[in-house]
Structure 1
Amino acid sequence: MDNNMINQDVAEFSKRIEHLLQVNPNKRILRFEYKGQIFWLKQPEKLRGIWNLLKPNPQKAFVRETVILQRFMQMGAPVPKLVLSGEHFFVLEDGGLTIADWLEDPQLSEARKMQILRDAVQALIDLHHCGFVHGRPALRDMTWKAGKVFFIDFESHSRSQNLLRKQVCDGLIFIHSLGRSKVLSDKQMRAAVDYYAQHCEAKIWQKIIDFIAKWRWLYRFLLMFKPIAKTDLIAIYRVFEHILPDLRKTLSRGSRHS
C-alpha cells in the first residue's frame, strides 16, 4: 500500500471518529466497526451532581490513562493497540471479550473457561515478571482473544516505586475479583489461586500470605455477617478461605523446623 492510500485511509478513519464523537457526546465507551474490524472509542467521563466532587478532574484522569497506554505499548506490555488519540478521545483495536464475559458465557465449555482463566492468571504473572503493575486487574479489566490476554483500564504505571507492594495489591485484587464471580465454583477458584501461587514470584505470594495472616482476625469478625453478606463481602470471605490453607501450611512447616 503506497503512502497516498495510507494517508487517505487515516483521513477516512479520522473522519469516522469525528462523526462518532459528534453523535455520541456522552457515550464514554463506544464499540464500532470499520472495514470489518472492531474498535473501541473512549472519551472522558461526563460527571454530574455529587460525582463532580468525588471525581473532580475526569479529563486529567483520561489524559493520564492515554499516557499510560502509550507508554505501555512502547514497552511491549500486553495492552490493546492504540490506533488513534486526541485530547478528548482515544481508539483501541478490539481485544476480545473480558475474562468476566467469557466465564459467564453459557455456550462455552467448562474446560474452555478454565483455559481462558488460566491464560488470565499467567498473563498477570508475566506482567509482573516484566516489572509492570496494573493497579486493578479485575476480571472485567482483562480481555481474551485467540489465546492472548490484554489488560485495559490501567490504574498504575509504576515500574519501580513500591513495585513489590503494588504487585502484591494486584494479586489480591485479582483474587478478590475471582471471589466476586458468581459463576466460578470454589473448586475452580481454588485451581486458579493454586496456579497463581505456584507460578508467581515467591516473594509476591509470601507477601500475600503475610497480608492474610495480619488480617485474619478481620475475617473471623466478618464471619458473623455471613448470613446477610452480599457480593463484595462474600468475595472477601472467599479470598481468605482460598489463601488461609497456604498460611496454615507455612505455619506448619515453621513449627516442624523450630
Structure 2
Amino acid sequence: MSNQALADVIKQQLVDHASERIVSFEHEGRRYWLKQAEKLTGAMRLLKQPADIAIQTEIATLQSLAAKGAAVPELVSYGSDYLVVADVGRTVTQWAYDATTPKEKLRQVVVDSARALADLHQLGLAHGRPALRDISWQDGVVAFIDFEANQSQQHMHDQQVRDLLVYIHSLYRYLYEHQDIVDEAIRTYRQTHGEAVWQAAKAKMKSWQWANLIVAPLRKIGGKDLRPIYWLLKHFK
C-alpha cells in the first residue's frame, strides 16, 4: 500500500468532509476512520476542553498505549486537528445484537474480550470504561477504543478494579440471556492474570451487598443499567 496514496485520500477526505467530526472511508480494501477536532460554538467553548487540545491528547494517548503494547487501533495519520485510525471491526455489542451471529462465534468474541482486558491490566494499564461497546473484535483480534483512564500508576490498581466492575456490569447488560457465556468470560479473565483484580473487586463489592435489598425487587422492571447491578452484586456475593 502506498503511503502517499493513502495520504492523498486522507487529504481529500478532509476537504470533502470538513464539517463532519467522524467519517469512515475505504482505501485498497481497508477501512479507516477520520476524526476531526470538534467545532465548538457558544457556551460549549467555555464548558469543554479546547478542541485542538482534545484531539492532540487523543493522539498522544494512542501513541503511548501502542508503545506499551496495548490493544488499540493503529494510528495511521494525524495532524494538528485530526487523526486517522485503521478500522478494528465491530464492537462486542454489535456482535451481540446481530441475530445472525452464531452462539459459538459470540462466545469466542466475548471470551477474547475478557482475555484482552486481563492482558491490558497485566501491562499495568487501565481503560476507564471497558463496556462492550468500547471493545472491538475482528478476525480474533481485540482492540479497545475510547480510553478514559488517566493511566496514573499511583491509582492503577483502583482503576483496574473499576474496569472489571464496568466490564462485568456490561456483560450482564448485553448478554443476560447467555449466562454461560458471561460465566466463561469472567472465568477467563480470572485465569488470565486477573485473579488479584477480581479478588479486590469482590472485597470492594462486599460493602455494597446491602444495595441488593433495593435492587432485587426491581431486577425485572428496572432499566437496562439498573438490572445488571443485581447480577453484578449477586456475582460477588
Equivalent in the alignment of 1:237: 230
- Distance 1:56-1:224 versus aligned 2 partners, 3 A rule: farther
Structure 2 alignment gaps of length 5 or more: none
The one-letter code sitting in structure 2 at the alignment partner of 1:207 is A
After TM superposition, the structure 1 = structure 2 runs for residues 119-158 of structure 1, keeping only pairs within 5 Å, are 119-158=112-151
Segment drifting more, 85-94 vs 59-68: 59-68
3-state SS of the aligned residue for 2:83? strand
Q: Are 1:180 and 2:134 matched, yes or no?
A: no
Contact 1:97 1:145 in 2 (8 A): yes
Give the equivalent residue in structure 2 for 1:168. Answer: 161
Give the whole-Å Cα distance in 2 for the aligned partners of 1:45 and 1:227: 40
Structure 1: 5+ residue runs without aligned partners? 1-5, 245-258
Deviations 1:44-96 (A, max 9, x none): 33456776565444443322111010111222221121100111111111211
3-state SS of 1:80 partner? coil
Relative to structure 2, which stretch is displaced further, 148-157 or 23-32? 23-32
Shift of the 11–199 alpha-carbon distance from structure 1 to 2, 3 Å rule, reads: closer
| Superposed CA RMSD | 2.3
Preserved contact between residue 169 and residue 229 of structure 2 (Cα < 8 Å) = yes
Q: Output the CA distance in 1 between the equivalents of 2:186 and 2:224.
A: 19
| TM-score, with structure 2 as normaliser | 0.89
Q: Where in structure 2 are the equivalents of 1:190-201 lying within 5 Å?
A: 190-201=183-194
Change (3 A) 1:131 1:92: same
More helix by share: 1
1:17 aligns to what?
A: 10
What is the percentage of aligned positions where both structures have the same residue? 35
Distance 2:209 2:54 in 1: 35
* Structure 1 segments (4+ residues) deviating >4 Å: 47-54
Q: Equivalent residue for 2:79? A: 86
What amino acid is the match of 2:94?
D
TM-score relative to the length of structure 1: 0.82
CA distance in 1, matches of 2:192, 2:177: 21
Q: Could you list the per-position Cα deviations for residues 113-144 of structure 1 after superposition, in whole angstroms to 9, with x for gaps in the alignment?
A: 10111110000001111111111111111111
